[in-house]
Amino acid sequence: MDSYPSQVNLPAKLEASRINALPPAAYYIADFISEDEEQAILHKVETAPKARWRQLTHRRLQTWPSDLVKDTLLDARPLPDWLEQPVVPRLLSIPLSDNEPNLFATSPHGRPNHVLINEYPPSTGIMPHKDGGAYHPVVCTVSLGSSLCLNLYKSKEDGALDPEPVWRILQEPRSLLVTTAELYSEYLHGIEPISADVNISEQTIANWSLLRSPSLYRDGLNQRKTRISLTYRDVLKVSKLGSKLGPMFKLP
């Protein structure tokens, strides 16, 4: 059966969730959080103080605990409880391999210290880009609300972007996608600003065998609804000043 009541389903080792079609390395866990957990987080995102949202032309976002300034996290307060639980302990609970206890075992703070929340109404996306040098090269993205495709792109010899994606990853609601290593440093990622993802099939989706509900896409279509993503990363530089800043400089 392709669909069953929502429950968390974690692999004993992350290696079991590896997207084998991709270069080193990406992992996809379809049932990383439950429907109740998804609803609780969505409620917190939607009811966050208005000052928390930054409106871009088509998309809006929140950063927790704060923005980066010159690649540095200024506000060193811990993540709020609703972003910490259940995601962070769950991320840290999955062994990567026999000799690496978890995904953040070799990162400077041993855990993610920053969350970016992006909201994508249908027909919005994000231009192809690399995440750059501010972060330890492990990106953990939890998807909420709707499925969409993340595209991976290669730079051409002359440095220009090849506009055809080399791979597509379908991210279902409640899933976790992890990208690391060469995939972090050598490839660009982006989301097309379209109302429906088309031509979805076993042949075109890199993580097809790891999907929760492949039968939903039998017609090759994913009609998008609003999707919220939570991107967990470890920011390498944290300001010592940050924890001493007065309340005037802090967002609620």
Ligand X SMILES: O=C(O)CCC(=O)C(=O)O
Min CB(189)–ligand X separation in Å: 6
Please, which residue, 130 or 218, has the CB nearer to Fe ion? 130
Among 66, 113, 141, 175, binds ligand X (CB under 6 A): 141
Among 26, 30, 150, 176, binds ligand X (CB under 6 A): 150
For residues 123 and 95, the answer to whether their CB atoms sit within 8 Å is no
Cβ-closest position to Fe ion = 131
Task: Name which of residues 182 to 211 contact ligand X (CB under 6 A).
Answer: 189
Question: Exposure pattern of 19-55 as b/e (b: 16+ CB <10 Å)?
Answer: beebeebbbbbbbbbbeebbeebeeebeebeeebeee
Please, which residue, 55 or 99, has the CB nearer to ligand X? 55
Min CB(141)–ligand X separation in Å: 5
Q: Which does 118 bind (CB under 5 to 8 A by kind): Fe ion, ligand X, none?
A: ligand X
Task: Name which of residues 164 to 203 contact Fe ion (CB under 5 A).
Answer: none
Question: Residue 228 and residue 118: Cα distance in Å, rounded?
Answer: 6
Residue 2 burial class via C-beta count within 10 angstroms: exposed 0-12, middle 13-18, buried 19 and up: exposed
Distance of CA 104 to the CA centre of its chain: 15
Please, which residue, 95 or 155, has the CB nearer to ligand X? 155
Q: Kindly state whether residue 31 participates in binding Fe ion, applying the rule CB under 5 A.
A: no
Q: Which two tokens stand for residue 157?
A: 């010899």
Q: Kindly state whether residue 231 participates in binding ligand X, applying the rule CB under 6 A.
A: yes
Task: Name which of residues 117 to 136 contact ligand X (CB under 6 A).
Answer: 118, 126, 131
Question: Residue 54 and residue 209: Cα distance in Å, rounded?
Answer: 36
Q: Which does 25 bind (CB under 5 to 8 A by kind): ligand X, Fe ion, none?
A: none
Q: Kindly state whether residue 131 participates in binding Fe ion, applying the rule CB under 5 A.
A: yes
Question: Residue 159 and residue 95: Cα distance in Å, rounded?
Answer: 36
Name residues whose C-beta falls within 8 Å of residue 225's C-beta, 6 or more positions apart in sequence.
122, 145, 146
Point out which residues bind Fe ion (CB under 5 A): 131
